[in-house]
Structure 1
Amino acid sequence: MMEFLSSDTRHKYLFMRQSPSFLLFLFLILSRTVGAAEGPSHHHQGMMEMDVADERISLGLPEPMRRHQLANMRSHLEAVREIIADLAAGRFDHAAEVAHARLGLTPEMQRMCNMFRNEEFRAHGLAFHHQADAMAEIFRKGKLDDALNALGETLDHCVQCHQRFRQ
C-alpha cells in the first residue's frame, strides 16, 4: 500500500501511526490555534460570519510592504512546520536553531519590526520574536512537554495578532 511513498515519507507515516502522542500533539496545536482564531462567536453564527465586515485594524501598508509582510508570515508558518517535524523526530537542537534563526529577534527582524508605525502591532511583533527566542532555549532542554507548551505560547502571539490586525 505504501510502495508509492518515498522512504523518508514512509518513515514519517509509520512514526505518526505508531505515535498516538504525536497525533494528540497535532490535534492540540491545531485546535488551540484554530479555536482561538475563530473566536467565541464562530460557534454560534457559523458560516454567517463570512458576510460580516472585517473589523480588524488595517495596517494600511503600501502594496510592496504588504506583500513582503505576508511573505514573512508564510516563512514563519513554514518554520513552525519544520519545528513540529523536528520535535516529533526528537531533533530538539535543530528545532532550536530554526526557532532562533527564522522566528527569533535577529537584528534584521528587529529593524523590520521597528519600521511599523502602529505601536500596538510593533509590540505584538516584538513579543512574538522574543517568545520565539525563549522557545528556542526551552527546545535545547530536550523535554517534549515543555517544548510543546512553548510552541503553543508562541503560536498564541500569532493568533492574538491576527485577531486584532489585517494587512
Structure 2
Amino acid sequence: MKRILIAVSALIGIVSFNGVFADDEKMHMGSHHHEMSVIDTRTSLAVSPEMKQHQLSNMREHVVAIKSIVGLMSENKFEEASKIAHAKLGLTPEMEAMCGMFNNEQFKTLGLAFHKSGDDLGNVLQTKDVNASLRALNKTMQYCVECHATYRQ
C-alpha cells in the first residue's frame, strides 16, 4: 500500500510541475544559472491572462484534491475522500460552465471526461475497495496527464 501511495504521490508531483509551473517557452532545469530552451508543441488554448490565472488556480486545486484523496485513502477515510472527489474533481455546475467557456472542442470534451471521472472516483471510493479506488484514481489522473501533454495556456 505504501509503495502505491508513493507512486501516486510521485505522479502528482510530476503532473503538477510539468503542467502548472512550466512556462510556455522555457523550463528552468536545476539551478537558475542553467537554462534550457524547450520547444512546446502542445496546443495553445489562447486564453486571456485572467482566464489563464483562473484555470491555473483550478488545476492547482485539483492537485491538492488528489493529494488529499490519497492521504485519506491511506487512513481508510473513504467517505471523506469521496466527498472531496465529488466536490473538487467532479462535474459540478461550475466546472461544467468553465469547460464550456473554451473554444477548443477537444479540450472541452477532455475536461468534461476528467470531471465525470472525478464523480466516478467519488462513487468508487464509497465502496471502500482500495484496488478499485486506485484504478479509478489512475483513470482520473490519466486525464490530467493527457491534457497537460496536449494543451498549454
TM-score range with shorter-chain normalisation?
0.7 to 0.9
Give the match's secondary structure for 1:61. Answer: coil
Aligned position for 1:160: 146
- How many Å separate the matches in 2 of 1:113 and 1:124? 9
Using the aligned pairs only, state the percent identity: 39
Cα 1:155–1:140 change in 2 (3 A) is same
Matched, 1:119 2:98: no
Give the TM-score of the pair, scaled to structure 2.
Answer: 0.82
- How many Å separate the matches in 2 of 1:98 and 1:30? 17
Q: CA RMSD in A?
A: 1.9
Aligned position for 2:6: 27
**Higher strand proportion (structure 1 or 2):** 2
Aligned position for 1:98: 84
Shift of 1:29: 2.0
| CA deviation string 1:18-68 (max 9, x = no partner) | xxx22x112332455649x98xxxxxxxx8xx4331010010100000000
Paired residue type of 2:130: L
Matches within 5 A, 1:1-167: 21-22=1-2, 24-30=3-9, 34=14, 50-167=36-153
- How many Å separate the matches in 2 of 1:66 and 1:143? 37
Q: How many pairs align?
A: 135
Shift of 1:149: 1.1
Structure 1 ranges of 4+ moved more than 6 A: none
Give the match's secondary structure for 1:29. Answer: helix
Which stretches in structure 1 are left out of the alignment for 5+ residues?
1-20, 39-46
| CA deviation string 1:77-130 (max 9, x = no partner) | 111111011100000011000000011001111111101110011111000000
Which stretches in structure 2 are left out of the alignment for 5+ residues?
19-28, 30-35
- How many Å separate the matches in 2 of 1:135 and 1:26? 16
Asked which structure has the greater CA Rg, the reply is 1
Contact 2:9 2:67 in 1 (8 A): no
Give the TM-score of the pair, scaled to structure 1.
Answer: 0.75
Give the match's secondary structure for 1:159. Answer: helix
**Higher helix proportion (structure 1 or 2):** 1
- How many Å separate the matches in 1 of 2:118 and 2:39? 32
